[in-house]
A and B are shown apart, each in its own frame.
Chain A
Amino acid sequence: MHVPEGFLDVPTSLATGAIAAAGVGLALRGARRELDDRTAPMAGLVATFVFAAQMINFPVGAGTSGHLLGGALAAVLVGPWSAVLCISVVLLVQALFMADGGITALGTNVTLMALVGAGIGWLVFAGLRRVLPRSTPSIVAAAAVAGFVSVLAAATTFTALFSLGGTLPVDPAKVLVAMVGWHTLIALGEAAITGLVVASVIGVRPDLVYGAAPVLQARELEIRLPDSQVVR
């Protein structure tokens, strides 16, 4: 769900725009650490992947559908700063070329989906990774929970912005109930798909999952001989 034009008033839109610009500025520095001089082509292709992933709709109920936000997924796969950068570019391209999400709401959308979505997603993931045992299943579980929390965090932040500068005469408490209720369903889909995708990438190319790096360092080479003897 992209926030469209005219949903929030001008001061709120400008304020979120400033927050988004500051956040993206930090992400520009951070992404160079994560991806070094490969940043432009790699982030470009990952942004394209996120865009493609967002095209897949899943039924939420009552004949409507939601789509993946992808903030937590991108953060686990390529690291938090690159994820913020990728999601921001996806939103920028969607607003400028596809009229998906308002031009004046771009700052709001970047704040919600890139900063809150990927940022909170990463914090939850990194926190859980520290607590859970060091194994790949815990990476998958942490990614799924991060996906769930990131969607609800974005929905809650939207409600907070709406109560500050919403243009509709609707009670913010009602908006909160509707947003959280609705997004709990979307968050369940997001959690399932985030976990499953991370699991499938770990299964094939574990070295590509940024969030799994600390777990993988603990593995050592095993050579299994035909008589089931294991040489380390």
Chain B
Amino acid sequence: MGAGHGHRLHFHAHSPIHRAPAHLKIVALVVFMLVVVATPRQAYAVFAVEAAALVGVVLLSRVPAPYLAKRMVIEVPFAVFAVLVPFVAYGPRIDVLGVSVSEPGLLAAGALLIKGTLGVLASLTLAATTEPQDVLRGLERLRMPDLIVQIMGFMIRYLDVVTAELARMMVAMRSRGCEPRSPQHWPTLARAMGSLFIRSYERGERVHLAMLSRGYDGRLP
């Protein structure tokens, strides 16, 4: 298989953040997120400090802002939800631009949006500055069970292979006038997914045999 072994979220560069040991970056990310989540919802000064620290790390990592911004669209469904909160929350109502909304709901939604955005940006920064293999080694050093690390390794290795296979199936379906999203064509979609499962499973069997023939004994070197 000649597919790339990296993942699309990694941004190749040379910076102190890229060079930092992966396990330290993972611990830093988890601690940072715990602090962010524990921050009271109206402590805007603390949020400002946290945001400044994160932006500092991003600047130091030399990952271009548009690169991260493009990948932050993952947050959109959640942002839409946060916008709805003030309308359904309880508590005293206030008028914002002539629309009556709940005041505690508005504050909570604001805090949720800040925390969510910081979380997405922090996770993307880890992904952008750390090769997947280094993340795996970092998790290993943090005493993540060996089997979990191995499963993650296989998942990352074959992610592009399997999703590309799915994409080809979808192109094949669409070119035959079949719209996978429409419930009318779900039986066809399900057959495609069934065969994707069989292909993935059989690929796993072949990989396992190939590993056995190279001396695999349940642990990776």
Contact = CB atoms under 8 A, between A and B. Distances in A.
Contacts of B109: 168
Contacts of B118: 5
Interface size class of B (residues with CB under 8 A): 35 or more
B36 interface: yes
A9 B40 CA distance: 10
A197 B197 contact: yes
A52 B127 contact: no
A103 B123 contact: yes
B197 to A, nearest CB: 5
B9 A38 contact: no
Interface in B103-156: 104-105, 108-109, 111-112, 114-116, 118-124, 126-127, 132, 135, 145, 147-148, 150-156
A73 B90 CA distance: 38
A189 B181 CA distance: 11
A226 interface: no
A65 B197 CA distance: 23
A204 B194 contact: yes
A140 to B, nearest CB: 11
Which of A59, A90, A197 has its CB near the most chain B CB atoms (within 10 A)?
A: A197
Nearest to B138: A96
Interface in A198-222: 198-201, 203-205, 208
Given A46-B204, A170-B88, A192-B186, 4 more contacts: A42-B208, A48-B200, A49-B201, A88-B148
Interface of B: 7, 9, 26, 29-30, 33-34, 36-38, 41, 71-72, 74-75, 77-78, 85, 88-91, 102, 104-105, 108-109, 111-112, 114-116, 118-124, 126-127, 132, 135, 145, 147-148, 150-159, 161-163, 165-166, 180-183, 186-187, 189-191, 193-198, 200-201, 203-205, 207-208, 211, 218, 220
30 contacts: A5-B33, A6-B119, A9-B37, A10-B34, A40-B151, A40-B153, A40-B154, A40-B220, A41-B154, A41-B204, A44-B157, A45-B154, A45-B158, A45-B162, A46-B201, A47-B151, A47-B154, A49-B162, A56-B181, A85-B148, A97-B9, A98-B127, A99-B72, A99-B74, A103-B123, A168-B105, A168-B112, A169-B91, A197-B193, A200-B191
Interface of A: 1, 4-7, 9-10, 13, 24-25, 28, 31, 37-49, 51-53, 55-59, 65, 77, 85-86, 88-90, 92-93, 95-100, 102-104, 167-171, 174, 178, 189, 192-193, 196-201, 203-205, 208
